Amino acid sequence: MPDLYGEVTDVRHPMATPESKPLTSRRALQEHFTVPPEVRESLPKRRVADVVVHETTDPEVIVAEFAYEFTLPDDSMAKVPCVFVMRVRDGQIIESRDYIDPIRTYSARGELDRLIALLGAHTS
């Protein structure tokens, strides 16, 4: 996945809860996407579905709508809708604003207690 991005990039998650810092390099994205094997096994399986790409009047900018579908431990499904606004230059993403519902994401991962603890830590 990080290979889709430029060496220098600006990826932000405006809806991240708690707030997150911009990812400004391919290396930072590599770290962001890397999940340790011991953690990976405990996470629900995730796949991308329902992809719709919208072109804009700026030839470098696209809007991608999609959903992450999570397969939960009981084999039920959870969907998290997403909208990414991306600037692509020379075949690489150089800027992206990734809008993902944090409550639905934590819920799909079975981590609502973690979200509540993170929020509590930020209000103290």
Per-10-residue mean pLDDT, the chain, length 124 = 93 91 95 82 86 97 96 85 97 97 87 85 64
Q: Vertex 24, ends 55 and 82: CA angle to 5°? A: 40
* pTM, two decimal places: 0.84
**pLDDT at position 22:** 97
Q: Tokens standing for 120?
A: 């509590």
CATH architecture under which domain 2-123 falls: Roll (3.10)
**pLDDT at position 100:** 94
**Domain edges within the chain:** 2-123
Torsion angle, alpha carbons of 75, 50, 26, 56, to 10: -160
**pLDDT at position 69:** 93
What is the rounded radius of gyration, in angstroms, for the C-alpha atoms of the chain?
16
